[in-house]
Amino acid sequence: MRIIAGKYKGRTVKFPKSDLVRPTTDRNKESIFNYLVNQIDFDGIKVLDIYAGSGSLGLEALSRGA
């Protein structure tokens, strides 16, 4: 898993190798954030990654300015 865009673009996200953690794939994250970026301004927005197994969605949002 990696950060796709923003300040920390290209950095990898390490997560435990477990059947209990299934991180969102890079492809799905990219689709989610492509949609969101066109709908809202990320500068200073507050984001809550409720189901944070690996935290990759929250980290992606932080990288993009949330």
Q: Average pLDDT, stretch 1-10?
A: 88
The owner of tokens 């301004």 is 41
Question: For 35-61, what is each residue's pLDDT tens digit?
Answer: 988 888 878 788 888 877 778 888 888
**Res. 63: pLDDT tops 80:** yes
The mean predicted confidence, pLDDT, of the chain is 84
Closest CA to 15 of 55, 43, 42, 44: 55
Residues 6+ apart with CB under 8 A from 23: 1, 13, 15, 53, 54, 56
State residue 9's pLDDT score.
92
Mean pLDDT value across residues 14-20: 77
CB distance 29 to 40 below 8 Å: no
Which pLDDT belongs to residue 44? 79
Q: Which domains does the chain have, with CATH numbers?
A: 1-66 (3.40.50.150)
